[in-house]
Structure 1
Amino acid sequence: MKYSYIARQPILDSDRKTFGYELLFRDGPKNTFPEIDPDKATSRLLSDHFLSTHYQTLGNHVGFVNFPYQSLVNLVPTLFPSDSLVVEVLEDCEPTSELLDAIKKMAKQGYRIALDDFVPSKEWQPFLPYVSFIKFDIRIVPIAKAGLFISKLRGSKIKFLAEKVETYDEFEQAKKAGFDYFQGYFFSKPELIQRKALQPSFLTIVQLCKEIAKEEIDYKELESLIARDLSLSYKLLTFVNSSAIVSSKIQSFKQALVYLGEKRLRQFISLVAIASTDSSKPNYLYGLSIQRARFCQLAWCKSGQRSDADLAFLTGMFSLLDCLLDQPLESIVELIPIDEAVKLALTKGEGALGKILSLSNAYEHADWEQVSELGISLELSDEVLSQCYDEALQWSADLLQVDI
């Protein structure tokens, strides 16, 4: 069987909390979702990846999955549990009576149906009583026009999702138009660019991140850094005490070091550090920073560059600082003590670190053509990249107790 890529993109509610993920598949060099038929191999491909790998990282959230026409008619979605799956009807599906019968059957079995990239037409009217979500691509159907359609169905059970929301202003407009959920990258762009001095506590965070990215942790240095910032110390102890592995209350940072061990310590400090930047930001943004850090580190090592893996980790983690601090990345990196190679990767996308970061971004956006090109140049196979991504997802999910 061919190896497939799967990436995920977050779907947020009006409070910018994660509601679910769209899971994006690629099978083979044509960058397309595989044509589904009842064939066992194809069913196994979906089952192996969707069930065994990605249900672990969905947590309590739902997974939106695109299914082409034939797979819907063949009721392939019913192979998967209905509680965690939203069945997306692709925009190129014809609204035939055959498809309507299949949608009715799945809805009756408890499956939630979403119409993807919806463009209103009378042909889809009979489907609406069985639909739970309608997704509008706001690049195709403007927010104002979609808002008129939403107002007509105000009393229905249908929830509306705005796709390709790229700016904070678009997010606000979509909310006012009646959208319930939002998909896009508005959450990873600065809401307001402003120049302000970096607080001393933030520089401590940078030093902490540098320490946990090293192969061998210097515990004395960590203890010294934590002691400089009371709020940071308090947050770390709070996270440690909320961990399932802690059976008795941890009273000091020294205790935390002993109790957690190196692996969990790296994870907790990653979370506390990145979440200390701005508590008003979407939770997913913190998870994405940590996920990127781990993906960059893993891909760096798999590409044969064992040294400087800590720099790859930092590159991923700091790649969203502009979004977390609402300042230009170029200004931020000039004020923090990080390696020149990391600065060049972050601001100009240069060097091997820049290439690894570009690879991470391409994977997140499901830009499979770019993923393939960068993978070839870094001598990373499809299978290795998929493993790195899955491991990074699981690592961040473990850290955030799958609430990301």
Structure 2
Amino acid sequence: MYSYVARQPILTRKKETFGYELLFRNGPENAFPRLSAEQATNKLLLENYWSDDIDKITDGKPSFINFPQDSLLRGLPTLLPRDKVIIEVLETATPNDSLYNALRILAGKGYILALDDFIPSEEWLRFLPLVRLIKFDISVLSIEKVRNFVRQHRSPKLRFLAERVETHEQFEAAKAAGFDLFQGYFFSRPQMLQRKEINSSKITILQIFAEVCQTEIDYNKVERLLATDVSMSYKLLRFVNNQRSLAAKPIESFKQALVFLGEMQLRRFVSIVATAQASDDKPSSLYQLSLQRAKMCESLADKIGLRAQANRAFLVGLFSLLDSLLDTPIDVIIEKLPLSEDIILALTEHEGPLGELLYYVQNYDQANWAELEQQGILLDISDEVIAASYVEAVEWAQSFKIE
């Protein structure tokens, strides 16, 4: 399955790229999908910020993302790194006290706020000190009508963006009126990008969602559920990686990632996944094999004196097929995850005890008997032990199959 996103560049007065507005698409047709604004935003976040490297889409530039009012009130923008995103407040938002307080908190945390398709009114004036960018749709409000507003409110902290710039004359007129940034068909139509996407199991998502809705979250149960879904666990670690400092301790288990997030951020993350993927397809056989490998690695680790590393062995097995799921080399994917060095070396080089264990399990999958016989001697694994672990892993993985 593929995910789709359209990006449209936002340019400076010198026609240099300042950033990109990202627009969710649910198919190769470059048109807005039949989804609510909130669901479209959630899918955009899930399929781009937590499934892939956002810098590949935006060339390292800031991304402009629309947030409907409900998402702003629930603090969903705080799930994103503030240095990579500009939060657009939709024109449908109501300028009430609740919205003001939500934006004040976001601005206080260092997020850049923009008012999208802005129409000046008395109710919005108190919001202006909170925002750093105002977007005017010049097909709705002419440049002549907004010129005075731009000049009256110009300050070093506030920029103005002209949307729907479709001709050279409009570009020159907007520059003369004091606009700083520009967006429209005169420069570029939204460009479609297609990428391989990992699906999550509907049942697992719903089970996790039900758990995080409890008054007290049972982290052990959430961890067990996450361990059955390679997509959710991958996105969770990508999300955690965006939240961590570079000096933070590497993640070695899902439990550690869950505790790091805390209840509020975990609930927000799961709510986005549940909303965004409510209608996605079932996982393929690759997911089944990922679960099988994870369980087999964990089981064998316990049997060959690596009991203390059983959790890491499970992660190694679970993520061993991410390259196939994402159509991306494993070493590229690993760079995005906050994993410990022994896990990274196991996945990329088959080095260390965990790497040898993974290599053994992969050979067993592929029926490479000569390799198995030689490595079995090195790891001191009997045929009976490996066969029992394999049967256990297959039965365990099949217990999560969706019919």
* TM-score range for the pair, normalised by the shorter chain length: 0.3 to 0.5
Instruction: Output the TM-score relative to the length of structure 2.
Output: 0.43
Output the TM-score relative to the length of structure 1: 0.43
Q: Whose Rg is larger? A: 2
